[in-house]
Structure 1
């Protein structure tokens, strides 16, 4: 019975997908109108989020068994899988397609580097005053994130080899190869040669234990992780339809779609990071947050570029100039934040101020 309860999110996900699949076109947004569509959107959103938390729980159990940094890496790659599925579903579903991947990846960076990092530093700083982490590990994340972000989201806007914020064929090929190669080098460093710099400094035995609930075997949690991922992927197309219809129906800015997808994907990871910061395990929070940002650029960009080639959909990655300013400012402040071995709640407040500015700019339609 306990196993049945623990896997209830996956079962609910499959049940919701089956209900929509069997209903055919009866519940299409155009057929039922705006407010019923928003109701179905809430159902799908909550179901996907519930499954995402199940993914995190199984990843946490694997982390308890395998230890760091492999546990965090499993969680990060799982989140990337969810993100790619949702981006691709929305990217090929309608008018928001060209900028969908760009808006989501930009949202991930801003939510992670400003929202989640700010919240972790503020909450952890208020509870523990100054917190310590491994400076080399944070710098390794940022040294990869900065060039990847600039190449993917800024360079396409300022070059003229392709219209608007699109990438030329040469740029796209270079972006795929460079992102995968650089992320591969980073993974080798994180998991093999320099794994010690991604652990909490001066951590004693058991200090980095994960709160994963009941830990069973590796095959059980691997099966459970994929069992929770599959309904998310299956429901991603339905979620895309209702999100797009709802955004247009209420007159919200199109960029809000990317924010919603990013927030959905990052919710479980963000809560795990906040819990770690409150427990004075800032290094785990850093691994989760910065790892999400690096994997988004390093893996999601190549994935959506390949999908755009295969499907023939136009992909616009270059940010608008106002967003470029916010991105550069965020990267600069992040470098300042992780320039010393201790952090305080002041740095958290600064990051949260930048996050508030980002949210404000989404709704600034003038």
Structure 2
């Protein structure tokens, strides 16, 4: 029987399988049994192999092109999500300056500017991820990461025992959203529209929660000024009250989330509808891309925040400003710049309900979640962080809440109300610019000072 006939018979019995035939022919040729030239069938098999290799290489090239295209799309979409993202150029400079410990003012300024677009991108990625997770789970994601930058900065400051900076930045973030952001919204919307309307029920609910938060600061301040205890005993009393109050506020925040996302979600239907209309072309990142972006930006924010907090003491000496003013006025700009821009834009578009939801929602997250959460975290870290602020800080917070409650209770706004909010914020900022740092922190006073002695 010839070799060709043998190959044909094997091919017949294998029902078209050619792999085994090629292996048999190669084996026969390798041992020298035959020395025939490749026939037409072998050439066809070689051509098939070459075609498969070319096809595989082509698919690999297409896969890499697809990955690069998606990466470019994510970068382009993320970079264009907010005009503030042009400040991303400061990120590498800030990290390098901090790593090589150059002038403290330079390190602070570069990382300060770098964290503004990082906060914007983190907010954008959080919105993209929450949009894919549904109302309830998405709302929880927003509640957790809505003020992630403030939380990261405060945790690093708390780790470094910068109690004064933590308290000032928390109070400053609340006042910034409550007066500066809301005032700019009222002013911008009022310039274009004679009068704007919003859901008074939602605004009243939010303002009531802020009133409870202000009470949580008033009570420790009152105890501090009324009780006549030894410094160490008074400090322990304030810490005990603050930690218990923090737990109550966290429980209140959980109940508020249930109220907002489940039982009374219909109250926010109008705002949710406006947000969907305003972002109809958004939400184009996949959950995986959004999640990866959140991780990358969070790590980068932590690095920049580490260098910023590290030089805070020499910076305030060089700049001749108080640490309280830095935490109360400057630090909140980092986390609130993106929200400020968004709120003003939607207010200009006559969507005041959404603007108020952005501004006051951020206030509630800080007052009911971030601040008490930091108190509990400080408890576990053995840091004396309390809800005891100085009397001036407590009065400033309470007056701000009172003024905003009066302005929004009628469900409408105009530019004059915006000017009132901005004027009050300017007065408070001026007072803190002149007021020197307390020796032991914003609310620490003689308690912490004597305790340290």
- Alignment of structure 1 residues 101-250 onto 2, 5 Å: 101-151=166-216, 153-160=217-224, 163=231, 168-200=238-270, 208-210=277-279, 213=282, 215-250=284-319
What is the rounded CA distance, in whole Å, between the counterparts of 1:7 and 1:201 in structure 2? 24
- Alignment of structure 1 residues 73-84 onto 2, 5 Å: 74-84=141-151
The size of the alignment, in residue pairs, is 352
CA RMSD, 1 decimal = 3.1
1:353 aligns with 2:418: no
* Partner in structure 2 of residue 312 of structure 1: 382
Distance 1:200 1:7, change over 3 A: closer
Which range moves more in the overlay, 73-82 or 226-235?
A: 73-82
Give unpaired runs (5+ residues) of structure 2: 1-71, 80-84, 437-453
* Partner in structure 1 of residue 115 of structure 2: 48
Deviations 1:70-107 (A, max 9, x none): 7676445324222121012223436xx23222211211
Normalised to the residue count of structure 1, the TM-score between the two structures is: 0.85
What is the rounded CA distance, in whole Å, between the counterparts of 1:5 and 1:236 in structure 2? 25
* Partner in structure 2 of residue 3 of structure 1: 74
* Partner in structure 2 of residue 255 of structure 1: 324
Distance 1:93 1:177, change over 3 A: closer
1:93 aligns with 2:160: yes
Deviation, 1:185, is 0.7
Distance 1:168 1:207, change over 3 A: closer
**Partner SS, residue 311 of structure 2:** helix
Give unpaired runs (5+ residues) of structure 1: none
Deviation, 1:296, is 0.4
Distance 1:323 1:302, change over 3 A: closer
- Alignment of structure 1 residues 291-302 onto 2, 5 Å: 291-302=361-372
Normalised to the residue count of structure 2, the TM-score between the two structures is: 0.70
* Partner in structure 1 of residue 341 of structure 2: 271
What is the rounded CA distance, in whole Å, between the counterparts of 1:81 and 1:173 in structure 2? 22
Deviation, 1:131, is 1.2
Which range moves more in the overlay, 184-193 or 252-261?
A: 252-261
Deviation, 1:13, is 8.8
Deviation, 1:273, is 1.0
Bigger radius of gyration among the two: 2
CA contact under 8 A between 2:175 and 2:400: conserved in structure 1? Answer: yes
